[in-house]
Amino acid sequence: MSNSVCSVLVLFSLIFVAAQASRSLLTKPQPLPSFRIINTTTTHPLLAFSKVNSTTITATSQPLPPLKTKTATSQKENGACYYTVRFTTSCSSPSYTRDQISLDFGDAYGNEVYVPRIDDPSSGTFEACSIDTFDISGPCMYDTCYLYVYRSGYDGWKLNTVEVYGYNSVTFYYNTFIPRDVWYGFDYCNGLSAST
Domain limits of the chain? 3-187
Q: Which pLDDT belongs to residue 153? A: 94
- For the chain, the first-to-last Cα distance in angstroms comes to 63
Q: Which pLDDT belongs to residue 193? A: 45
Low-confidence ranges of the chain (pLDDT < 70): 1-79, 191-196
Q: Which pLDDT belongs to residue 2? A: 65
Instruction: Give the closest residue to 168 by CA, choosing from 103, 29, 63, 71.
Output: 71
Q: Which pLDDT belongs to residue 34? A: 47
pTM of the model: 0.63
Q: Which pLDDT belongs to residue 119? A: 85
Instruction: Give the closest residue to 67 by CA, choosing from 4, 140, 133.
Output: 140
Instruction: Give the closest residue to 101 by CA, choosing from 129, 127, 138, 140.
Output: 127
Q: Which pLDDT belongs to residue 151? A: 96
pLDDT in tens, 126-174: 999 999 999 999 999 999 999 999 999 999 999 999 999 988 899 999 9
- Rounded CA-CA distance 150/180 in Å is 7
If one counts every other C-beta atom within 10 angstroms of the C-beta of residue 83, the result is 23
What three-state secondary structure class fits 174? strand
CB-based contact 141:72 (threshold 8 Å): yes
CATH architecture of 3-187: Sandwich (2.60)
Q: Which pLDDT belongs to residue 13? A: 57
